[in-house]
Amino acid sequence: MADQPKELSMEIRLLLALVLMLAVLFGTQYYYAKIAPPPIPAKKAPQPAPAPAPAASKPEVKPPVEPAAVQPARPAAPVAAQAEETLVLDTGVYRITFSNRGAVVRSWLLKNYRDHSNKPLDVVNSAAAEKAGYPLALVFKNNPSVDLNAALYAAKRSDDGLGVEFEFSNTQTTARKSLHFTKNGYLSQILTEVTENARPVPHHIAWRAGFGDLTVPSPSVAQHAIYYDAAAGKLVSNEAKVAKEAPVSASGVYTFAGVEDTYFTAVFLPPGNGAIEVQTFSDKVATPFHQEEQPFAGAAVGGEGRNRFSFFLGPKDLDILKKVNPKLEQVVDWGWFGFIAQPLFLLVHWLHDGFVRNWGWSIVVATVLINFALLPLKLSSMKSMKKMQLLQPQIQVINDKYKNVGMRDPRKQQQNQEVMELYNKHGANPMGGCVPMLLQFPLLLAFYKVFTIAIELRGASWLWVGDLSQAETHMIKVLPIVFIATQFLMSKMSPPTGGDPTQQKMMQFMPLVFGFMFYGAASGLMLYWLTGNLVAIGQQWFFNKTATVADVAGPVKKKGFRK
């Protein structure tokens, strides 16, 4: 499947739309008005796990179960398998296929999630194994005398069926790798140990060359190597280009480190406050779904001869993440307008869980609530726009008076002065009608971020829409078309605020411009915008039917204007 060409991100499109709208609104009016311008606490020891809850679509995360302590005694005789074999381990949320050649992961299925092509989600890039190795391969600064990523390990299951242990030894070099999982959780325990001639061999545990949903267009764009720097209190996210020339290393007291894509993450969590080392890799590889090679970010974590970690691999679901470690919530990137996006998501989430039980209708209800919460500002804006409409004949008289005056003519300043005096006399504010629009774009950017990172909305359906986080799959997309129609209707119902005919003609084309720019936007974003338009149309209709000249004759705040 050929890769699609890179397009402008939706954040950039929304910002361009805002700039375009502001340019049209104010560019032609420039000469008519001047507008004034904590220390890290020690981690507690794991508590005994409660009785397992029944499996559900969002399983409860259990406290980690420590694997059996490593016995200090080393095998006196060689330990290895005679042939390559695979071992499948099933839990309530995983189906993992291991290979004893290298003690690596060949396939890691998340049972509760499906990929972009609606098949069971496998987060392993099997097509990259030849170049970068399979997940959980070992990375050495100084390679031991035997290639442990190609050795045939002896494999053994744990008695409860939720763990597996691999061991290899040729009496000189010994390696051990063990993993233990919980029945219905996304947190496991991993231990690796390598010695040569009875001396520890420092190494890292790697996940390279792709992770997560590899069926999406250009999957490498969303891939990052990450670690949470506890001292700085921030998440560090590295793209593949950081390690384009060579792997990049960092060490410190990190709460977690690993890899991520848009909706899923795989991170190692050290048991204490000791320093760990993280290596970032750039692997230019293909995937089973993209023949053209792309640069994928990868990570290797560890640095000791014996590495013990908790290992989280699962969805970026806030409820799940905070149960594992509150700092893990940092992997959910809310973007520039996170202070708006996160409360919006929590509102939609609350409506879904408590009342509506459908994400699409939750978006509709949340949009209605937001628009009515902004109603006082909207009424003030409508009054201002109406007052500007009433002043148009007088503004036109001034414009006719200076009809043949050029922009560089000193009399142009006199024209501007007369227009401002007219505004001040009647308490009109040309910017008053723009307040709802200025509020709309931060909300649009925030909602866009919600629809692109909230895993709860990934695959969520509403009426004919199969996935609210994606554009409609039909050639003729209903939501964008209805959105364009409502934009036209709103422009017809709203009073013109400027006397420039060129501006008014340009504004008539804005719905088509917006429709073209956002025709491929997420259905959830279009549903939010469309619902907001419908509410605004109803409010404008009510205002137009009930407002009188006397209602708008009173003074409007003249903030930002002066003689």
What is the band of 428 on the pLDDT scale with cuts at 50, 70, 90?
confident
My answer on whether 182 and 299 are in the same domain is: yes
- Residue 302 makes CB contacts below 8 A (sequence gap 6+) with 192, 202, 203, 204, 205, 268, 276, 277, 309
pLDDT attached to residue 19: 62
Between 178 and 20, the higher pLDDT residue: 178
How would DSSP label each residue in 319-368? HHHHHH-GGGGGGS---TTHHHHHHHHHHHHHHIIIII--HHHHHHHHHH
My answer on whether 290 and 382 are in the same domain is: no
Range of the domain at 260: 86-333
Q: Say how many Å lie between the first and final Cα of the chain, rounded.
A: 64
What does the alpha-carbon distance between residue 241 and residue 284 come to, in Å, rounded to a whole number?
Answer: 10
Closest CA to 166 of 158, 174, 178, 152: 178
pLDDT attached to residue 497: 56
pLDDT attached to residue 502: 60
My answer on whether 286 and 382 are in the same domain is: no
Between 297 and 34, the higher pLDDT residue: 297
CATH code at position 230:
2.70.98.10
Does an H or E element contain 205, and which? strand 204-207
What does the alpha-carbon distance between residue 266 and residue 284 come to, in Å, rounded to a whole number?
Answer: 20
Confidence (pTM):
0.80
Residue count of the chain: 563
What mean pLDDT comes out for the span 6-31? Answer: 56
> What is the residue-averaged pLDDT of the chain?
84
97 forms bridges with which residues in the sheet?
88, 107
**163-169 and 234-238 as β-strands: parallel, antiparallel, unpaired?**
unpaired
pLDDT attached to residue 209: 92
Closest CA to 255 of 239, 238, 234: 234
pLDDT attached to residue 501: 58
What does the alpha-carbon distance between residue 444 and residue 437 come to, in Å, rounded to a whole number?
Answer: 10
Residue with tokens 């299951």: 157
pLDDT attached to residue 77: 82
Q: Which of 48-52, 84-88, 199-203 is the least confident region?
A: 48-52
What is the band of 165 on the pLDDT scale with cuts at 50, 70, 90?
very high
What does the alpha-carbon distance between residue 221 and residue 209 come to, in Å, rounded to a whole number?
Answer: 13
Q: Is residue 377, in this structure, part of any structural domain at all?
A: yes
pLDDT attached to residue 1: 44
Q: Percent of the chain, pLDDT > 90?
A: 59
Between 435 and 352, the higher pLDDT residue: 352
Does an H or E element contain 483, and which? helix 478-493
Whether the pLDDT of residue 413 is over 70: the answer is yes
What is the band of 34 on the pLDDT scale with cuts at 50, 70, 90?
very low
My answer on whether 373 and 260 are in the same domain is: no
My answer on whether 319 and 465 are in the same domain is: no
Q: Percent of the chain, pLDDT > 70?
A: 80
Q: Which of 76-85, 161-170, 417-426, 495-504 is the least confident region?
A: 495-504
Q: Which of 344-348, 400-404, 559-563 is the least confident region?
A: 559-563
My answer on whether 185 and 263 are in the same domain is: yes
My answer on whether 119 and 253 are in the same domain is: yes
Q: Is residue 26, in this structure, part of any structural domain at all?
A: no
My answer on whether 316 and 374 are in the same domain is: no
Does an H or E element contain 190, and which? strand 187-196
107 near 126, Cβ under 8 Å?
yes
Closest CA to 382 of 531, 154, 542: 542
My answer on whether 120 and 220 are in the same domain is: yes
Q: Is residue 94, in this structure, part of any structural domain at all?
A: yes
Give the three-state DSSP class for 88. Answer: strand
Whether the pLDDT of residue 3 is over 80: the answer is no
265 near 331, Cβ under 8 Å?
yes
Q: Into how many domains does the chain fold?
A: 2
Q: State residue 104 phi and psi, 5-degree precision.
A: -120, 175
pLDDT attached to residue 303: 95
Name the range with the highest mean pLDDT among 1-15, 71-85, 99-113.
99-113
Q: Is residue 95, in this structure, part of any structural domain at all?
A: yes
Q: Is residue 363, in this structure, part of any structural domain at all?
A: no
My answer on whether 209 and 304 are in the same domain is: yes
